[in-house]
């Protein structure tokens, strides 16, 4: 347990900001009190008291991602001269498999544990404490570095949330999800991604099977209209806005003005490396750029999209509140350097350099050494751009250097990595053929990976289109063909810098809107 002192931006419904507040973090991973709102709890008399030196916010929640692909650079299809209109198109592009699907599959098969730690590190340096988009395959422990929304058990044996990344296009395909929602489970579903109005049928199908309820989190919704948003509001469902990816691929984004008018709960997500921002902190800036041109949201409303709004969506199914700093909530919080008077503007304009401390489940995971040392004395050093920080992976043998070294080993010798992966996939296929399904815990999501991995194996499987996979193996739900030796691009830096901005400038589909991100650096 410990006490964190500073300006507390609670993100409670009343928007209370405490200029001189204290957050009491208990050993149970929950917030015991926030003073002066609450009385000082017993048992904290000898707890360490840390002066934050900045503003204390709830940890950021990224409700739309595909973690397996976040070591990859931004992608454009050279043969494409016009924006795509549907999510069904770009997965068939000539360069997609070689530049996205195959490199990610090889890394996930040969170094899944290191890959997951790498991409979670990329998220945490931007203040993310919970992220959606855990790959299929091996499931990491709860709160390993940050929370994986898809698989988080919160200390229980419950599987709280189902996820559909590839759109289920029939009532039969959606039936298992509808049954889960009827039992109170959450459902995160991609829907209506693209500018083609025909994509509205994907949301209409969700409505027909009865899942447009408080547990539904719909991702993208770029083709939806006011009628659809009225249904979402009636069901108290949530919409995740990913403006960068929408503009990058389609040249347009969701009609969030109409969604707000309808009263839909709006969240924000950074999507994946090939068409998304580094982390949700930068996705807030995309929302800010769009908002400067359209004047729809206040700064507080934008910040709520990454804190209290996704927190409310998750709290529909999770047993503890999240996304607000209040007694009884999950102790996920961040400390951000003060650079301006307004606390909400301060977060919108913050970059990775301004993140001073990240706490997940009451445990300090990343931040300035001076803040980490009293509570995580064994945390190791990590270089974040030009910055020096400390990080705690929960295992003394794991450091940032070992994570990078393992991934670089795959990059240097993709043939050797593919050969090692072949042995694992052969064992997996044999187990599948024999009907063994209890070697490791299965992915309980409908259509998820069967439990076919040998003990100690940590293989990540794709959750995005993989056109190179054998159709029959995909139909069976098995791991698919063994990844081949392919060229893997250099690992993307943790921070957002000039090379990334240059790539953004080169894409014509967003008509220059996203080029404004450079001004925040």
Domain spans of the chain? Answer: 2-60+320-396
Distances (CA, A) of 318 to 94, 139, 392: 41, 18, 25
**234-248, 309-323, 343-357, 447-461: least confident range:** 447-461
The pLDDT of residue 434 is 53
The pLDDT of residue 469 is 80
- Tens-digit pLDDT profile for residues 269-312: 999 999 999 999 999 999 999 999 999 999 999 999 999 999 99
The two counts, helices (H) then strands (E), for the chain are 17, 19
Q: Express as a percent the part of the chain with pLDDT over 90.
A: 82
**pTM to 2 decimal places:** 0.94
What would the two tokens of residue 106 be? 């090889």
What would the two tokens of residue 17 be? 């900001």
The pLDDT of residue 449 is 45
Section 108-123 average pLDDT: 95
- 427 membership: H or E segment, kind and range: helix 414-434
The pLDDT of residue 269 is 98
- Tens-digit pLDDT profile for residues 441-464: 444 445 444 444 555 678 888 899
Section 67-71 average pLDDT: 96
The pLDDT of residue 437 is 41
The yes-or-no verdict on residue 468 having pLDDT over 50 is: yes
The pLDDT of residue 427 is 67
Section 23-41 average pLDDT: 96
The CATH fold of domain 2-60+320-396: Urease, subunit C; domain 1 (2.30.40)
31-35 and 17-25 as β-strands: parallel, antiparallel, unpaired?
antiparallel
Using alpha carbons only, what angle is made at residue 370 by residues 365 and 371, rounded to the nearest 5 degrees?
Answer: 45
For residues 353 and 356, give the distance between their C-alpha atoms in angstroms, rounded to a whole number: 8
Buried b (16+ CB within 10 A) or exposed e, 261-273: ebebbbbbbbbbb
What would the two tokens of residue 124 be? 């945490």
The pLDDT of residue 438 is 37
The pLDDT of residue 22 is 97
**102-116, 201-215, 406-420, 457-471: least confident range:** 457-471
The yes-or-no verdict on residue 137 having pLDDT over 80 is: no
Beta-strand ranges (E) seen in 16-133 are 17-25, 31-35, 49-58, 60-62, 128-131
Instruction: Please state the length of the chain.
Output: 521
The pLDDT of residue 378 is 87
What would the two tokens of residue 253 be? 């984004």
The pLDDT of residue 439 is 38
**69-78, 301-310, 363-372, 413-422: least confident range:** 413-422
- Burial class of residue 145 in the structure, from the number of CB atoms within 10 Å of its CB (0-12 exposed, 13-18 middle, 19+ buried): buried
The pLDDT of residue 299 is 98
How far is residue 41 CA from its own chain's centroid?
Answer: 33
Mean pLDDT score of the chain: 92
For residues 286 and 257, give the distance between their C-alpha atoms in angstroms, rounded to a whole number: 15
The yes-or-no verdict on residue 431 having pLDDT over 80 is: no
What would the two tokens of residue 14 be? 């009343």
- Tens-digit pLDDT profile for residues 327-342: 999 999 999 999 999 9
**146-150, 160-164, 449-453: least confident range:** 449-453
**18-22, 132-136, 194-198, 370-374: least confident range:** 132-136
The pLDDT of residue 472 is 41
What would the two tokens of residue 280 be? 């949700």
Section 104-109 average pLDDT: 94
Cβ–Cβ < 8 Å for 286, 236: no
The yes-or-no verdict on residue 234 having pLDDT over 80 is: yes
């Amino acid at each position: 347990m410990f006490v964190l002192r500073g300006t507390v931006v609670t993100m409670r419904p009343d928007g209370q900001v405490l200029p001189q507040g204290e957050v009491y973090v208990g050993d149970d991973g929950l917030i015991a009190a926030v003073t002066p709102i609450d009385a000082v709890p017993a048992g904290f008399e000898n707890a360490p008291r840390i002066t934050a030196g900045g503003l204390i916010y709830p940890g950021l929640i990224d409700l739309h991602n595909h973690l397996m692909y976040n070591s990859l650079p931004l992608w454009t299809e050279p043969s494409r001269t016009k924006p795509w209109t549907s999510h069904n198109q770009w997965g068939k592009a000539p360069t997609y498999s070689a530049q996205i699907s195959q490199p990610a599959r090889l890394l996930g098969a040969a170094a899944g544990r290191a890959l997951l730690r790498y991409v979670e590190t990329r998220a945490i340096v931007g203040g993310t404490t919970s992220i959606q988009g855990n790959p299929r395959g091996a499931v990491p422990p709860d709160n390993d570095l940050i929370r994986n929304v898809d698989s988080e058990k919160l200390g229980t044996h419950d599987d709280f949330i189902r996820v559909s990344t590839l759109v289920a296009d029939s009532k039969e395909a959606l039936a298992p999800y509808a049954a889960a929602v009827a039992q109170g489970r959450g459902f995160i579903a991609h829907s209506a991604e693209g500018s083609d109005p025909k994509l509205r049928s994907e949301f209409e199908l969700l409505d027909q099977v009865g899942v447009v309820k408080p547990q539904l989190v719909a991702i993208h919704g770029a083709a939806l209209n006011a009628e659809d948003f009225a249904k979402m509001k009636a069901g108290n469902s949530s919409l995740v806005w990913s403006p960068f990816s929408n503009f990058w691929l389609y040249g347009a984004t969701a009609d969030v003005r109409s969604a707000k008018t309808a009263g839909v709960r709006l969240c924000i997500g950074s999507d994946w490396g090939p068409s998304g921002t580094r982390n949700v902190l930068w996705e807030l800036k995309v929302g800010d750029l769009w908002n400067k041109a359209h004047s729809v949201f206040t700064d507080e409303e934008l910040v709520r999209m990454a804190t209290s709004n996704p927190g409310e969506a998750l709290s529909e199914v999770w047993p503890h509140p999240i996304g607000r700093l209040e007694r009884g909530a999950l102790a996920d919080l961040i400390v951000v350097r003060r650079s301006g008077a307004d606390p909400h503007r301060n977060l919108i304009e913050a970059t990775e350099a301004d993140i001073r401390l990240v706490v997940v489940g009451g445990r300090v995971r990343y931040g300035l050494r001076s803040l980490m040392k009293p509570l995580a004395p064994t945390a190791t050093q990590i270089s974040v751009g030009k910055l020096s920080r400390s990080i705690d992976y929960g295992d003394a043998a794991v450091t940032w250097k070992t994570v990078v070294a393992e991934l670089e080993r795959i990059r240097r010798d993709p043939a050797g990595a593919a050969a090692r992966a072949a042995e694992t996939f052969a064992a997996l296929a044999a187990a599948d053929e024999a009907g063994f399904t209890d070697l490791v815990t299965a992915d309980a999501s409908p259509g998820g990976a069967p439990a076919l991995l040998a003990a100690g194996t940590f293989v990540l499987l794709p959750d995005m289109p993989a056109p190179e996979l054998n159709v029959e193996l995909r139909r069976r739900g098995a791991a698919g063909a063994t990844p081949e030796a392919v060229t893997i691009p250099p690992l993307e830096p943790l921070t957002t810098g000039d090379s990334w901005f240059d790539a953004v400038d080169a894409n014509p589909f967003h008509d220059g809107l996203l080029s404004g991100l450079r001004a925040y650096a």
